[in-house]
Structure 1
Amino acid sequence: MKRAFNYIMILVTLLSFGCTKNENKPCCEDIPLYYQMGAVPKMYNKMAVTPETQQAMSTEFKTKWDKAVADLELIGGRRLRSFDLNFISDNQLTITYSYTLTTGGLARAVVYYNYVVDNRGYLQISYASRDANGRVIAPGIFPIQEDYLERYKFRIDWIEDKIPGSTGKTAAYYKDGDATSYFYGSIIN
C-alpha cells in the first residue's frame, strides 16, 4: 500500500509540472481529484461545504441537510450553517460542523473518522469519536451525519458536470451507485 501511494505521489508531482492554469479551470483538473485530495502532501486537504449558499445540492443531500437543520434547532435553538471535511492523515479525517447559538455566537463541533479511498476513488468513512460539542449536537445532526455521510461510500470528483462552466476549485462527493445524490464544496490546499 505504501509503495502504491509513493507511485501515485510521484505521478501527481510529475504531472503537476505539466499542467497549465486556465482562467476557468483549476490546475491539474485532468488528473482524477481523488489522487489529489487527502492529507498533506496531497494538493487538497480540506473541503468547505456551505449548503445555505450553494444552489446545486442534490435533492437527497438537501433533504437530509434540511432535516438536520430543523432537528438541531430543537437542541437549544442551534442553527447548523456548514461543515468542513479535513484530511488529517493517510487514514483519518475530521468533519467540523459550524453552527450558531441563540446568542448569535458561532460554535463548532468536531467528529473524527477513519477512512479509506479505494482504487476507483470512493471514500468510505467510519466513526471514531467526537469532541464535547459533537456529543451535544449528535442527535440533531443525525440525518446528515449518520444517515448520509457515514452510511454511504462517495466518489470524489470535480463538480463541473452538475454546474456547467464552474470555475475555481470545487469538488463533489457522489454517492456510490447514485450520481444524482451528492454534496459539493470549495477545496483548499
Structure 2
Amino acid sequence: MKNIIQTGVVILFILMTLSSCKKEEKLNANLSIIDKNIIDKTPTDLWLDENYLKPYNIETKFRYDRFELTLGKNVTPPLESQVIPAMEMVKAVWIKPFEAVGGADFIKRISPKQFILAGSAEYNSDGTITLGTAEGGRKIVLYVINSFDKTNLASVKQTIQVIQHEYTHILNQTVDYQTDFQNISKGGYVANWTQETLANGRALGFITQYARAAPEEDYAEMSSNMLMMGRVVFNAIVSTTPADGQLKLKKKEQYVVDYFKSAFNIDFYALQTEVQNALNNITAPVLAKLIGPGIGYTTLYSNPNTDISQSSEFSGLWKTASANMTASGFTVNDITMTFKAANAMTLRYSFSSGASVYQADADYTLTIDAAGIGTIKLSATQPTTATYNNMNLINPMMAPVNNYFKNNKFKIDWINKIIPGNIGGIGSLGAFYKQTDGSSYFYGAMGQ
C-alpha cells in the first residue's frame, strides 16, 4: 500500500508540473503532408469539380491512395499534369456520345461514381498487365495515365476502350444481358486465355483473346470493341474469319445491338457513329488505307444522274456517255467500283433497255501508293461471262467515262470538305480527285 501511495504522489507531481508548463504556441507541423484530405484545391481539382463532380456526381481521385489500388502491386502515382488531358478525352469520347444518343441525363443516371487514376499499369504474375478495373458498378480504376497522349489516337483508344469495357459491366449490372448469349461460343471459354491465339479465338467467335475469359467479359469485349473499332473496321475483321466464326460474331453483334435498344432505348449504331466522330477529331481516318477486303471498304457506289455535286469535268463526261447510250436505245443508271484482293477492282455499270436491267463489268487493277495516289489500269485479260460481254457492247458509248478512269491518276480521299458529312462510316462519301487537277473528281458512297 505504501508503494502505491508513493507512486501516486509522483504521478500527481508530474501532472502538476506539466500543467504549469502549458504553452499556447502552435505546433510547427505541416498536417497536409499527413492528411491528404486537408488541401487547397488546385486548378486541376477545380476543373474536375466543374466537369465531373458537379454535372455528373463523379469524383476523380488522382492523389496517390494505396488503399484504392491492389495491395501487393507496385503502381506509380499519376502526374497531375496528365489528369486534365486524360479526363478531357474521357468526356469527349465516352460521356458526350452517350449523351448525344441516350439523352443528356443518361450518364447522370447510370455511371461510376468514382474514377481512380494510376500512373503506371498493374503488372500481373501471368505476364499480362491490367489497364483498368471496375468495382461493383461504383468505381473505375484507370492505369497508365502517365503515358497518356491526347493527340495520339492509339493512346486515346486504349484508355477509352477500358472505360467502354468496364461501363458495359456497369450497364449489365443495371439491366442483365441476355442469358443465352453465353451459349453462342459455349465451350470456348478458358481460364488460361493468355495462352490462346487471336486467330484461333476469332475462328471460335471471339473478338479478342480476353473475350474467352468468361461470358461477361466476352459481352463487354464485344460492346467496347464494336464502339472503338467502328462498324467499317469491325465488319472487315469479321469478314476475314472462318465461316463459323463470322456467324458467331455477327450473332453476338446482334445481341449487343438488341440489348442496348431494349434495355436503354439506345441505337447502338448511332452511338458507334458518335464515338467514331469523336475519335476522328483526334486523327481523321485515311480513306486510301481503308480500301480492300479485310481492311475496310469493298465498294463505292454512285448515281451520277442524281449526284449533282459531281465535278464539272466528270459530269460533262457522264452526260456525253449517257447521250451515247440513249442514242443506242439504252439508259445508263449508275456505277459501282468493287475493291477485291490483290489490288483487283471491278468497274460495273448498271444500264437498262425498256424494263430490262443489265450489268456491264470490266476488271482493273487499282494500285494505291503511300501518298494515297491511285492508278487504275485495265486488266489485259477479261472474263467472257455475260456481264463482261455487255461491257464490250457498251464500251464505245461509255468511252468518255472509261478513259477518265484509265488515263488519270487520282488522290483518294473523303469529300466532306465539299459535301459536309461524317467520314469513316458506312455510306460516307469518298472521292477520286485527279492528281493534276483537284477540282476534277468522281465521288460515291463507300460501302461493304
What TM-score does the superposition give when structure 1 sets the normalisation length? 0.82
More helix by share: 2
CA shift for structure 1 position 90: 2.1
Aligned pairs for 1:62-77 within 5 A: 62-75=315-328, 77=329
Inter-partner Cα distance in structure 2 for 1:22 and 1:109: 38
Please tell me the residue identity of whatever aligns with 1:43.
G
Q: Which residue of 1 aligns with 2:435?
A: 176
Check if 1:85 corresponds to 2:341: no
User: Are the structure 2 counterparts of residues 188 and 27 from structure 1 closer, same or farther at C-alpha, using a change threshold of 3 Å?
Assistant: farther
* Higher mean displacement: 120-129 or 167-176: 167-176
User: Are the structure 2 counterparts of residues 26 and 144 from structure 1 closer, same or farther at C-alpha, using a change threshold of 3 Å?
Assistant: farther
Which stretches in structure 2 are left out of the alignment for 5+ residues? Answer: 1-153, 159-224, 231-271
Inter-partner Cα distance in structure 2 for 1:26 and 1:105: 45
Inter-partner Cα distance in structure 2 for 1:24 and 1:78: 42
Inter-partner Cα distance in structure 1 for 2:278 and 2:348: 25
Q: Secondary structure, in 3 states, of the residue corresponding to 1:30?
A: coil
Aligned pairs for 1:16-95 within 5 A: 17=228, 21-22=273-274, 30-38=284-292, 40-75=293-328, 77-95=329-347
Check if 1:119 corresponds to 2:370: yes
- Greater relative contact order (Cα 8 A, min sep 6): structure 1 or 2? 1
Q: Which residue of 2 aligns with 1:8?
A: none
Which stretches in structure 1 are left out of the alignment for 5+ residues? Answer: 1-10
Asked if the contact 2:429/2:443 (under 8 Å) is kept, the reply is yes
Aligned structure 1 segments of 4 or more residues deviating by more than 6 angstroms = none
Q: Secondary structure, in 3 states, of the residue corresponding to 1:125?
A: strand
Inter-partner Cα distance in structure 2 for 1:86 and 1:26: 29
CA shift for structure 1 position 165: 4.1
Q: Secondary structure, in 3 states, of the residue corresponding to 1:22?
A: helix
Inter-partner Cα distance in structure 1 for 2:415 and 2:314: 15
Check if 1:188 corresponds to 2:447: yes
**Percent sequence identity over matched residues?**
27
Q: Which residue of 2 aligns with 1:136?
A: 393
Give per-residue Cα distances to partners, 1:55-107, cap 9 Å, x unaligned: 211000000000110112223x1111111000121221000001111x22111
Inter-partner Cα distance in structure 2 for 1:169 and 1:136: 32
CA shift for structure 1 position 25: 5.0
Please tell me the residue identity of whatever aligns with 1:172.
A
Asked if the contact 1:24/1:166 (under 8 Å) is kept, the reply is no
Q: Secondary structure, in 3 states, of the residue corresponding to 2:273?
A: coil
Inter-partner Cα distance in structure 2 for 1:65 and 1:98: 13
* Higher mean displacement: 103-112 or 125-134: 125-134
Asked if the contact 2:421/2:428 (under 8 Å) is kept, the reply is no
Inter-partner Cα distance in structure 2 for 1:132 and 1:27: 45
Q: Secondary structure, in 3 states, of the residue corresponding to 2:393?
A: helix
CA shift for structure 1 position 23: 8.5
CA shift for structure 1 position 22: 2.3
Please tell me the residue identity of whatever aligns with 1:78.
F
Inter-partner Cα distance in structure 2 for 1:23 and 1:53: 31
CA shift for structure 1 position 164: 2.6
Please tell me the residue identity of whatever aligns with 1:36.
L
Inter-partner Cα distance in structure 2 for 1:68 and 1:25: 38
CA shift for structure 1 position 27: 7.7
User: Are the structure 2 counterparts of residues 160 and 141 from structure 1 closer, same or farther at C-alpha, using a change threshold of 3 Å?
Assistant: same
Q: Which residue of 1 aligns with 2:355?
A: 104
Please tell me the residue identity of whatever aligns with 2:413.
D
Inter-partner Cα distance in structure 2 for 1:62 and 1:49: 12
Please tell me the residue identity of whatever aligns with 2:433.
Y
CA shift for structure 1 position 26: 10
Asked if the contact 2:333/2:351 (under 8 Å) is kept, the reply is yes
User: Are the structure 2 counterparts of residues 35 and 24 from structure 1 closer, same or farther at C-alpha, using a change threshold of 3 Å?
Assistant: closer
User: Are the structure 2 counterparts of residues 93 and 18 from structure 1 closer, same or farther at C-alpha, using a change threshold of 3 Å?
Assistant: closer
CA shift for structure 1 position 24: 9.6
Inter-partner Cα distance in structure 2 for 1:26 and 1:134: 43
Please tell me the residue identity of whatever aligns with 2:375.
Q
Asked if the contact 1:74/1:140 (under 8 Å) is kept, the reply is no
Asked if the contact 1:170/1:185 (under 8 Å) is kept, the reply is yes
Inter-partner Cα distance in structure 1 for 2:304 and 2:229: 34
Inter-partner Cα distance in structure 2 for 1:163 and 1:117: 24
Q: Secondary structure, in 3 states, of the residue corresponding to 2:316?
A: helix
* Higher mean displacement: 122-131 or 163-172: 163-172
